[in-house]
Amino acid sequence: MFGILAAIKDRLGLSWPATVLLTTGVLVGLGYGAWRLRSGLARMLSGTPQPAAAAQQEAPAASLDGEQAGAELLPAHPELTAALRTAGVIGSEQVIRADQVTISPVQTGEVYDFLVPKGRTYEDVEKRLGTVAGMFGVTRLHMTLERSRDNERRVKLLKLHEPPFTRPFPAPTRQEIETFAGVPLGHDVTGQLAGVPTFDKASLLVAGMTQMGKTTLVNGLITCLLIGYGEFELYLLDGKFCGLTRFEPYATRYESSDDPAVFWEMVRELNRRSDERYAQITEAIRNRQPVPKFKPVIFIVDEAADFFASGATNEEKDQAKQIAEDTRSLVAKSLESGISTVLMTQRPSTNAIPVMVRDQFLYRMCLYVASAGTAKVALGDTYFETVAPINPVLLDPDIKGQAVLFANGRSRLIRGFDFDDKFIWDVVDKRVAKRMESLPEETPLRKAIELLRAKGVDFMTTPDMAPALGILEDDPAKRGKRLNELLGGPPTYKNSQGRGYRLDDLVAFAMSDS
């Protein structure tokens, strides 16, 4: 090295300090030139030109962060980098590294699995999902984002080939429903089952214009509950008269009516049960006992809007107010009492379901509606400010049963199941039979139920039933009273044959507890 320096010194006729300085300067200059050339080549290969100013800004960060320095040299994924930069998800100087992207085909589209640059998270993509979809040349409905559990920077972006649910998925089998972790409500856009983790401590509002598939969706929900949910009681109010009839044999109480008084009566009955349950909880806490576990009760109302409508007189207005207040209280108290409410409405207008009732619902679903305002009524006033909202107005009204499911702050597009009637009947029959098996064998109530079943009748009068259960009293009043006491107090029913008991009432009574 000394020899080389001496040769340079002789050749240029410089002093020693000047020779050393000059040689060092030239070597540093050459090194910088080589670095510029290399990064320029890397950028050219990745097809992402970078302004000089940005490159200068990035130099210090690169020296702090090994990965970022590596990112500069590694090729970027052109499609994702360009889309996410233009959508404003990542900065113009940032890239999505090609070696951190995998694209895999699924049944209905393809999944882009990638890491966003350091300093960004999946939420940056989620917040701008509509714009990102636009960059891919599709709509928000074609795109679904899933976060990963292992890394905040990992994004799984599903892009559909066709509008969602263009092709129907087959209804799930019993086994698929049984193995689903939670309560399925429908298929997601890839054909997987989607739903909510539990119906315990939850309530659901389902809104959508007429003929969009609400009743079918809720029939699917009840079917899934009967297959996969533990023991529960069902209260059904069929405001459309025949939408929920298939489940009557299992229901603890089934009413088919559009009379607000019937709705109010059911709400009050459930509020009473809820109060009793609260009293038991308080008592347990007071006595330092474990809090009792209650059998879940699920109250489902098909077409609820009419029940809150108010008449013109003051008395009717007061009644409507009281109905709204009682309903709000029921939904709000479901948290601890284990009584969940599902309300459906085809008129999600501002005054159809009172705001104080609506705001209590933990889960909300909206099928196709004609305006964003109506969607807000169903999903909440601030719905469009939530993360990655899906506008129900954009759903295709010809593909029935599609709905935006808004649960735990996240939106999902699903399509309710459309089960065969035969499948539903079979599920109901099996569940009712299972219930019967679980009844204590030798009770008079079970004997009475089996008597009606053996005779193949839905109703039996007191004079016919009493002797079969060992009551040989001749006085009708005394006989009726003794039989009712023996059975434990189930509701009686009167028809043209006289007073007696209906099979459905006896079964429901046998199943109910506080």
Ligand X SMILES: Nc1ncnc2c1ncn2[C@@H]1O[C@H](COP(=O)(O)OP(=O)(O)OP(=O)(O)O)[C@@H](O)[C@H]1O
Binding residues for ATP: 208-215
> Quick one: 297 or 300, whose CB is closer to ligand X?
300
Distance, CA of 384 to CA of 27 (rounded, Å): 60
Percentages helix, strand, coil for the chain, rounded to the nearest 5? 50, 15, 35
Minimum CB separation of residue 272 from ligand X in Å reads: 30
What are the tokens at 365?
Answer: 């679903």
Backbone Cα Rg of the chain: 34
Q: What are phi and psi of 413, to 5 degrees?
A: -100, 125
Neighbours of 445 (CB within 10 A): 20
Minimum CB separation of residue 344 from ligand X in Å reads: 7
> Quick one: 205 or 448, whose CB is closer to ligand X?
205
Place of tokens 């109910």: 512
Whose CB is nearest to ligand X? 401
> Quick one: 243 or 490, whose CB is closer to ligand X?
243
Place of tokens 């599609």: 402
DSSP 82-151: HHHHHTTSS-TT---BGGGEEEEE-SSEEEEEEEPPTT--HHHHHHTHHHHHHHTTS-GGGEEEEE-SS-
* Cβ pair 141, 132 in contact under 8 A: no
Minimum CB separation of residue 240 from ligand X in Å reads: 5
Minimum CB separation of residue 360 from ligand X in Å reads: 22
> Quick one: 83 or 343, whose CB is closer to ligand X?
343
**Closest C-alpha to 118, from 154, 157, 85:** 154
Where do contacts with ligand X occur on this chain (CB under 6 A)?
Answer: 208, 210-216, 240, 346, 400-401, 415-416, 418
Annotated binding site: 208-215
> Quick one: 216 or 484, whose CB is closer to ligand X?
216
Q: What is the largest CA-CA distance in the chain?
A: 140
Minimum CB separation of residue 226 from ligand X in Å reads: 18
Minimum CB separation of residue 393 from ligand X in Å reads: 16
> Quick one: 39 or 216, whose CB is closer to ligand X?
216
